[in-house]
Structure 1
Amino acid sequence: MTDDRKTTVPVWTLATADVRVSGVTAGESMTAERLAELRGVLAVLADQPIVTLEAHPLPDKIDRGRGIPLDAASPLAQHLSQFITQSTRTSLTTARATASGENLYRMVVPAKVAAQFGQGLVRPMVPKGAAGGIYGELVSSTGRIASKARFVPVGGAAAAGTAGGAGATAGAAAAGGTALTVAAPLVLMAVAVGVSAHADRKRQQAIEHITQLLEQLQEEKLDDEHSELDGCRDAIDKATAILLDQGKLGVSLGLDSAVHAINTALGKADRRLARWQSALDGLPEGEAVELGTLTKSFPGVDDHGGTFRAHLELASLAVALKRRVVALQAVEHAQSEPGNPFENFTRALKRDQQRLDELESGIAAVLVRLSALELARPNGLRPVFTTGEVDRLMSAAHRIHQLGAGVSVSGRPMDVAIEIARGKDGSVTVFPALPV
């Protein structure tokens, strides 16, 4: 996808309910920029959630280990296979693009629609040692398609209602405009798995950071917190596999005890956040702060390790695990009432994630406030300080100022991309949802 030849990329416009919109023309090629504009227009004009689905060639090298694999019998893989099969019967462009059986499908959810299932679910992730964040195989560091592709919209009316499952059958639509493909189950499952993969990726990052910090600190209480949270993964993984196969959750999975442990950790994070906010409120406004005063409320804030940074990572781990649980609960709720799966899904996500958004926003605000503090010279009788004392103060100031780097407090919803690698046997791997 890096050569100068223009690859033909089929693009479908998918709705989660019967809807007609004007201005959607099939068969006319467009640029990536024009496609982005189209997504924005559709999000404004339509009353129902609308996403686009692109079919790109599968890259030669792709790290499937960072995604969630699903076999060909899973509902998402079946919905996608049925959709592709029907589309190839009505579109030569689709037939040619998918002839190999191996493709990377990219579902883009516009910002307006993404906000319906929660602006806090998908945030940029910055891996250790990299400033550009995590991007998919098709996305450059600017967030745009890296290859020079020619996007060709595929007519939706001919394929309407072919995605299978509840809510997929297109009924009578309003007169005028173009009828879009109704594929609620396909959209629901793709969003659910992409969000779950994103949350698990954040869990992995938090685990890596916590392990390093606790090896330095050697604090048993924090190590116990870490172990209890990390022990929740097995139950969540099993519940994910069962729900994504449209099974029923049972008590034997241990999900209830895992949720209790996660909620306990979130309660600790809430209390720590309240103490941090109170400590910052108690500092004299506009005045420099002594390092010793600061480390009483934020132990280790001046170092690479430290209890404060361990508390931050434990909070991040608890939030990541809870977001996976929230996605699972939303899928279960939607599947229990198949008549309107996407609406149930978004309602469940909104209710449960508000607390997580507030916690993350509160922690981000604390980090920004800390990074803006000015450190004062230590009080003492000596007029001159040693070189070591000066170096420590400068190093501490640099580390504290870095706390605010990369922190996002705006919460502005962004377009979300979910990439799905499909093999010849129909199995799929869903990669972490990405902000575009």
Structure 2
Amino acid sequence: MINYRKAAGVPVWTLATGDVQVPAVAGDKPMTAERLGELRSVLAALADAPIATLEVHPLPDELDRGRGIPLDAVSPLAQHLSQLITQSARSSSTAATATAAGEGLYRMVVPAKFAGQFGQGIVRSMAAKGAAGAIRGPLVNSAGTIAGAAKFVPVGKAAAAGAVGGAGATAGATAAGGAVLTVAAPLVLMAVAVGVSAYADHKRQQAIEHITELLEQLHEQKLEDEHSELDGCRDAIDKATAVLLDQGKLGVSLGLDSAVHAINTALGAADRRLARWQSALDKLPDGKPVEIGTLTESFPGVDDQGGTFRAHLELAALAIALKRRVNVLQAVEHAQSDPGNLFESFVRALKRDQQRLDELESSIAGVLTRLSALELARPQGLMPVFTTGEVDRLMRAAHRIRRLGDGVTVNGRATDVAIEIARDKDGSVVVFPALPA
């Protein structure tokens, strides 16, 4: 959690990915967090090109860096950020003071209008343990909100000027009616790409943990093989990520092609299972209770903590998470091949591939919602009285099936997306998973 008492004002840059024209709505006086959010929404509504804000906060004493993706000081993202800091410190006393230590926690927020272009389901809340509704992230407290009453100070006109490097990429200041935006497409592109990739990898880790636990109970060799094949894709994806984020070229030796084939195969299996689940639900009588035995024929283990059905759900979640990482890689590669049109290329390439994943994820969520709404019938038998064990099993099954709908989001609205970047004194950075802002 940020301790705002360490800084009198929080510098905030308004970043644009293109030369946009907007009226003067920012001003140069300190703003509250609420006012900054309003400003971001207004600018997003007025601008055609994606706009983001970038804040710098003191680096927290305790920070779980293992959740993020580390990049050294010579990586493009770290260099873009360093050059922006250098330019800003020359002309803004607030920025110079806040960045003098060389380290800090930078928070980039992309408005919902543009964040939605990355894919409807690509960023979801990650619940923190022990606090209902809390979100994991270094900038939030146990209640899930930004702490303190910080004053955000817009960085001035001169700070926006200058180049923010990158292959073929340019940056500078654009002004209209007194509003000044830093044109920094490479910085926004790389921050979004790494933050989304880190988020997808976090989801992969969650799925791996769940699958491992389930398969230890099931002892199903076929599911073990599916799991192993998917988990084996990580090495190729990690290497491809490292190469692309250093603006290198992907080669056949990385093994990404075979990894993509394995992921697509797993997605095909998820599609087939989804079709069977939907068909089974469609065959159930409307408004009538369903026996456990009937339900477990199509959803084996649905009434238990483990079970094949739950393993299939986690395998689908793993395949989706891996595919999202691959989609980001392909989008970055496409964007870097067209350096004069970085962000639009990135969005186009990413949006095409995200649609199928969004639909698959939404359809699975729909199955879980329908299952959770089912009413279980008493088992049919010759005896009119049921044992205590049978009653207990029915109650446990009903509770577990109802809980299938917990936390399920179907066709969720896009929210502002925050990407948090920890910068060390040597210029290296760690980019944390993208979060709803």
Task: Report the Cα distance in structure 2 between the residues aligned to 1:92 and 1:253, rounded to whole angstroms.
Answer: 46
Q: Is the 8 A contact 2:171 2:182 kept in 1?
A: no
Task: Report the Cα distance in structure 2 between the residues aligned to 1:161 and 1:189, rounded to whole angstroms.
Answer: 19
Task: Report the Cα distance in structure 2 between the residues aligned to 1:179 and 1:369, rounded to whole angstroms.
Answer: 50
1:119: Cα distance to partner?
2.1
Task: Report the Cα distance in structure 1 between the residues aligned to 2:86 and 2:268, rounded to whole angstroms.
Answer: 49
TM-score when scaled to structure 1? 0.96
Q: What SS is found at the alignment partner of 2:114?
A: helix
- Equivalent residue for 2:120? 119
Q: Deviations over 1:176-210 (max 9, x none)?
A: 34231100000000000000000000000000000
- Equivalent residue for 2:170? 168
1:126: Cα distance to partner?
3.5
Change in 2 beyond 3 A, CA 1:305/1:128:
farther
Task: Report the Cα distance in structure 2 between the residues aligned to 1:432 and 1:76, rounded to whole angstroms.
Answer: 15
Q: Deviations over 1:67-105 (max 9, x none)?
A: 000000000000000000000001000000111111000
- Equivalent residue for 2:414? 413
Task: Report the Cα distance in structure 2 between the residues aligned to 1:102 and 1:5, rounded to whole angstroms.
Answer: 13
- Equivalent residue for 2:195? 194
1:233-312 alignment, distance < 5 Å:
233-312=234-313
Q: What SS is found at the alignment partner of 1:258?
A: helix
Identity of aligned residues (%): 77
- Equivalent residue for 2:182? 181
1:161: Cα distance to partner?
4.5
Change in 2 beyond 3 A, CA 1:6/1:92:
closer
Is there any run of 5+ residues in structure 1 with no aligned partner, and where?
none
Q: Deviations over 1:311-332 (max 9, x none)?
A: 0000000000000000000000
- Residue type of the partner of 2:139? L
- Residue type of the partner of 2:350? L
- Equivalent residue for 2:147? 146
Task: Report the Cα distance in structure 1 between the residues aligned to 2:307 and 2:235, rounded to whole angstroms.
Answer: 29
Is there any run of 5+ residues in structure 2 with no aligned partner, and where?
none
Q: Is the 8 A contact 2:17 2:184 kept in 1?
A: yes
Q: Deviations over 1:325-368 (max 9, x none)?
A: 00000000000010101000000001111110000000000000
1:169: Cα distance to partner?
3.3
Q: Is the 8 A contact 2:291 2:378 kept in 1?
A: yes
Q: What SS is found at the alignment partner of 1:164?
A: coil
Task: Report the Cα distance in structure 2 between the residues aligned to 1:31 and 1:265, rounded to whole angstroms.
Answer: 47
Change in 2 beyond 3 A, CA 1:128/1:388:
farther
Task: Report the Cα distance in structure 2 between the residues aligned to 1:114 and 1:300, rounded to whole angstroms.
Answer: 37
Alignment size in residue pairs: 435
Q: Is the 8 A contact 1:25 1:155 kept in 2?
A: no
Task: Report the Cα distance in structure 1 between the residues aligned to 2:57 and 2:377, rounded to whole angstroms.
Answer: 56
TM-score when scaled to structure 2? 0.96
Q: Is the 8 A contact 1:17 1:167 kept in 2?
A: no
Change in 2 beyond 3 A, CA 1:52/1:388:
same
RMSD: 1.7
1:117: Cα distance to partner?
1.9
Q: Is the 8 A contact 1:40 1:110 kept in 2?
A: yes
- Equivalent residue for 1:368? 369
1:2: Cα distance to partner?
4.1
Q: Is the 8 A contact 1:69 1:429 kept in 2?
A: yes
Task: Report the Cα distance in structure 2 between the residues aligned to 1:427 and 1:380, rounded to whole angstroms.
Answer: 68
1:141: Cα distance to partner?
5.0
1:153: Cα distance to partner?
1.0
- Equivalent residue for 1:377? 378
- Residue type of the partner of 1:355? R
Q: What SS is found at the alignment partner of 2:124?
A: coil
1:65-76 alignment, distance < 5 Å:
65-76=66-77
Change in 2 beyond 3 A, CA 1:3/1:337:
closer
Task: Report the Cα distance in structure 1 between the residues aligned to 2:117 and 2:4, rounded to whole angstroms.
Answer: 37
